[in-house]
Amino acid sequence: MEHIKETELQLQDDKRTRRSALLLGGAALAGLALGQKAFAQTGPTDNDILNFALNLEFLEAQFYTLATTGMTIDQVGLSTKSGGGTAGGAVTVKANPKVTFTTPLLQQLAAEITQDEQNHVKFLQAALGANAIAQPKIDLMNSFNALASAAGLGSTFDPFASETNFLLGAFIFEDVGVTAYQGAAGLITSKTYLDKAVGIHNVEAYHAAAIRTRIFQAGSAAQSASQAIARTRATLDGTGNDDIGVGVTNGAATIVDNDANGMTYARTTTQVLSIVYGGGAAGTGGAFFPSGMNGTIK
C-alpha cells in the first residue's frame, strides 16, 4: 500500500457545484450537426476527425515511448509517414529522456500506456490508410517549459526528470485526450468508427484515472501542481473552469475530471487545439505542435 495521509486541500473550484459542460457540448454538437446538414461540404468528414485524433495520438505515443525507452516511435519501428509516403516531422526533446523509474508498478503502468498509445497510432493509421496524415512537428521540451510558466510552476519543467514529473507530464495529456474524444464522438457519422472512438475514449479515461490516482498518492505538492495545470487548461480552452485537478473536496477525492452531473467534459476541436498549441493561433500552432497539426482540422 502506498497511500499517504492527505490533508484536505482547499480548491478554488468545486466540481460538485459547477455548471455542466455537457449541456454546452450537446448544444455545440447539435449546432454542428445542423451545420453539416445545411452545408454538407463544410462539416468535418470522419477522416478529418480520425486524422485530428491521430495528431494527438502521435503526441502521446512520442511522449510515453521517449519516457520509457529513450527512443522515438519511429526508432522503435512505427511509421510516422503519411499514407502517401510524406515523411513525418521532427521531435524536439532533451537528450536522454528515458525516465528513471523507482516504483515497479508505476514503471509497468508507463509501459502499458506506451503500448496503448502506440496501438492507437497504428490503429488509426490502418483505419485511414492512404488518407492518414504524417506526424507533425512535435515539441516535448519548450512546450512543457512554456506551460509550466503559464501555470505558475516555474520557468522550466522537465517531465522526464523524475517519476513525479513524469506523472504530471502524463496528466497534461490524458484528460485532454478524454475530452477530445468525447467531443469528437458526436461528430463521427460511421457507427463502426463511433464504436472505436468510444473504445479509445474509454482507454484514455482508464489511463487518466491511473495517472491521477498516482498523483493523489504522491502527495500535496503533486496534487497542487495538477490543480495549477488544470486551471491553465481551462484558461486556454476558454471555459475558465471546466477542468479539475487532483485533490480532495468536501471529503471526496477528485480522481475523476468531471462535472456536477458525474459526467466528463467534452471539448470542441477548437478548444483542444488551443490547449495543445498553448494558446497559439489556429492554423499556426505552438507549444506541443510548433508548426501546427496536420490534416484539415488544425
Partner 1 sequence: MNNKLPGRGPLSRRSFLAGAGGAAALVTAAGCGDSTPMTALPTNPGTTAITDADILNFALNLEYLEAEFYLRAVTGSGLSDADAGSGAGAVTGGTQVVFKTPAIQQYAQEIANDELAHVRFLRKALGSSAVSRPAIDLSNSFNAAAMAAGIGAAFNPFADENSFIVGAFTFEDVGVTAYHGAAGLLSSKTYLAAAAGILATEAYHAGEIRTLITELGAPYLTYANQISALRAAAGGGAETMLSGYTIVAADSNSISYDRTTDQVLHIVYLSAASGVVSKGGFFPNGLNGTIKATAS
- Measured between alpha carbons, how far is 99 from 186 in angstroms, rounded to an integer? 37
> Between 143 and 268, whose beta carbon lies closer to partner 1?
268
Report CA-CA distances (Å) from 247 to 96, 114, 170, 262, 294.
32, 26, 17, 16, 36
> Between 75 and 156, whose beta carbon lies closer to partner 1?
75
User: Contact between 74 and partner 1 (CB under 8 A)?
Assistant: no
Instruction: Select from 138, 148, 167, 200 the one that contacts partner 1 (CB under 8 A).
Output: 200
Stretch 238-257 residues interacting with partner 1 (CB under 8 A): 248, 251-257
Instruction: Select from 214, 231, 233, 267 the one that contacts partner 1 (CB under 8 A).
Output: 214
Stretch 101-120 residues interacting with partner 1 (CB under 8 A): 104-105, 108-109, 111-112, 114-120
> Between 71 and 282, whose beta carbon lies closer to partner 1?
71
Nearest to 212 by CA among 243, 180, 181: 243
Q: How far is the CB of 217 from partner 1 (least distance, A)?
A: 7
Instruction: Select from 53, 203, 228, 276 the one that contacts partner 1 (CB under 8 A).
Output: 203
Tally of helices (H runs) and strands (E runs) in the chain? 8, 4
Evaluate whether 226 touches 246 at the Cβ level (below 8 Å). yes
Give the angle subtended at the CA of 13 by the CAs of 7 and 19, to the nearest 5°: 140
> Between 48 and 175, whose beta carbon lies closer to partner 1?
175
DSSP per-residue string spanning 45-84: PHHHHHHHHHHHHHHHHHHHHHHHHSS-TTTTT---S-TT
- Measured between alpha carbons, how far is 217 from 82 in angstroms, rounded to an integer? 41
Q: How far is the CB of 146 from partner 1 (least distance, A)?
A: 28
Count of CB atoms situated within 10 Å of the CB of 214: 22
User: Contact between 141 and partner 1 (CB under 8 A)?
Assistant: no
Binding mask 257-286 for partner 1 (x = CB under 8 A): xxxxxxxxxx--------------------
User: Contact between 19 and partner 1 (CB under 8 A)?
Assistant: no
Q: How far is the CB of 19 from partner 1 (least distance, A)?
A: 13
User: Contact between 3 and partner 1 (CB under 8 A)?
Assistant: yes
User: Contact between 217 and partner 1 (CB under 8 A)?
Assistant: yes
In the numeric block, the cell 464504436 is attached to 195
